Amino acid sequence: MKVREMCLPSGWYPHNAQDITCMLECSAAETEKAEAVIAPHAGWFFSGALASRALAALKRDVDTVIVAGGHLPKQTRILCAEEDAIETPLGLLFFDHELRDALRQELTTAPDSSADNSVEVLLPAVRYFFPTARLVWLRLPPCASAKDAGAFIAEKAAALGRRTVFIASTDLTHYGPAYGWMPQGNGASALRWVRTVNDARFIEAVLAGDTAAVLLRAEAEHSACSAGAVLAALGFCRQLKPRVLAYTTSADVLLAAGEGETSSFVGYAAITLA
């Protein structure tokens, strides 16, 4: 059996099972029964609470969890993990070979061998909330065809009799000198602009299910790093019934932790889609 090793160091998420359980059990009482969600993928200190809330809102009686990340340029193939299982601090997560191989027959994919946080950082929470489910690991480029891929994934899963949920992994605006993008300068007014304008416009496009606007906002306004995953989730949904569960920024998290202000920060949202 080929097992994919954990690649992210412990600063991204705890490598101790007890610490993971302590962090996630407070979200376990969520009562949503969503089929698809959007979750952030920063380190757990910054966005773990929002990611946990999104995953906890998913229905639990499923066979397979599809986690779609991104961090890809437009003109690339869909990337797909091809191992038999992946390590998590809570034990192995096994891949759904049958569904994955059925998708690979129709979608243009390539093996994903990169150490990328957009999927891996969510997997300890997937293992916690879905201890017996199988996994499909994908990363999608930010293009309109990603939405068609999501619809095909839903169709193929249904044809195989799979009960599935879909997790789209993306962070929102990356702002400040650390990211080389700061059109509103620095300080409190820039943070307010990201919260109320830039991230808000991307979220509005998602809630409307507007493919063109999602891509435009992500590319022109730097308001999502993995828009392809979001579009795939929109395509996966049979009926869009979106709801924003929570929103914050890394600046807010640091302030709440008493760390003071920062000139570089990232936006995060937890959203149910269907």
Instruction: Report pLDDT digits (tens) over 249-264.
Output: 999 999 999 998 899 9
Better pLDDT: 140 or 261: 140
Domain housing 267:
3-8+21-272
Question: Which of 61, 62, 38, 60 minimizes the C-alpha distance to 50?
Answer: 38
Residue 6 DSSP symbol: P
CB 91 within 8 A of CB 154: no
Task: Give residue 102's identity as a one-letter amino acid code.
Answer: A
* 230 assigned to some structural domain: yes
* 14 assigned to some structural domain: no
Both ends of the chain: CA-CA distance in Å? 35
Instruction: Report pLDDT digits (tens) over 75-88.
Output: 899 999 999 999 99
Q: How confident is the model at residue 28 (pLDDT cuts 50, 70, 90)?
A: low
Instruction: Give dist(CA 89, CA 22) in Å, integer.
Output: 13
* 15 assigned to some structural domain: no
* 16 assigned to some structural domain: no
* 13 assigned to some structural domain: no
* 75 assigned to some structural domain: yes
Number of domains in the chain: 1
* 259 assigned to some structural domain: yes
* CATH value at residue 147: 3.40.830.10
* 83 assigned to some structural domain: yes
Instruction: Report pLDDT digits (tens) over 35-71.
Output: 999 999 999 999 999 999 999 999 999 999 999 999 9
Dihedral-angle region of residue 179 (phi above 0 means left; psi in -120 to 50 means alpha; beta otherwise):
alpha
Q: How confident is the model at residue 30 (pLDDT cuts 50, 70, 90)?
A: low
Alpha helices by DSSP H, 57-144: 97-106, 117-120, 123-129
pTM given for the model: 0.97
